Amino acid sequence: MTVTRSILITGAGAGIGRATARAFLAAGWEVTLLGRKPEALRETAGDQPARIVACDVGDPNQVAAAFAGLSRLDVLFNNAGISAPAAPIDEIPVDTWLEVSRTNITGMFLCARAAFGLMRRQSPQGGRIINNGSISAHVPRPGSTPYTMSKHAVTGLTRTLGLDGRAFNIACAQIDIGNALTDMAARFTKGVPQADGQIRVEPVMDVDHVARMVLHMASLPLEVNTPFVTIMARDMPYIGRG
């Protein structure tokens, strides 16, 4: 008998989260869509059966309630994240930093913590956590202090959970994405600042490539892991950035 596997996707109301959710729904997974806007989550699901959970990942009580409703979880795609307008650090309002870190760091921590606890205690034990990192987890864009700091923190989370999860049959991976064409990345097609001070258009890729990669990572047996995967538009200036 084929057992349906389950995944919870944060930030599932748009962009990478939406594309990934639709890929898992099409593949027959049991999918929980988590995000701040229920109407956007329902749009993601379309006519496919999915569990819709309105949740702010930066709120500990809301995250705890969201995961308490799950009897089992095979995979968490820890995807929710926000960016901020580019500026030198002394021109970035402290409130902007607090907002970015609340979602990109605290939110990642809270969801990973809840998933880890569930996977550790469920039977059979184990599962997989896939964190959405970024090319910025390796090298920054100009004026991106809050976002870059937050994505470096995600790498620390991935490495630690990858180590701590071994005792509980929990694998942890990170996907670092470069220039997937979403609403957030649309500006790349119009020109963005480069390390040398120029403004240039950057290549982008279809977001569905990311969704298929996450599906592949999630489908691996638990004795196999892809600790860090980079997927990017081939000609984006990542290798030469800086």
- Tell me the catalytic residues: 147
The full DSSP string for the chain is: -PPPPEEEEESTTSHHHHHHHHHHHHTT-EEEEEES-HHHHHHHHTTS--EEEE--TT-HHHHHHHHHT-S--SEEEE----------GGGS-HHHHHHHHIIIIIIHHHHHHHHHHHHHHSSS--EEEEEE--GGGTSPPTT-HHHHHHHHHHHHHHHHHHHHGGGGTEEEEEEEEE-EESTTTGGGGT-EE-TTS-EE----EETHHHHHHHHHHHHS-TT---SEEEEE-TTSTTTT--
Copy the structure tokens of residue 14: 């748009």
Contact 159, 148 (CB under 8 A): no
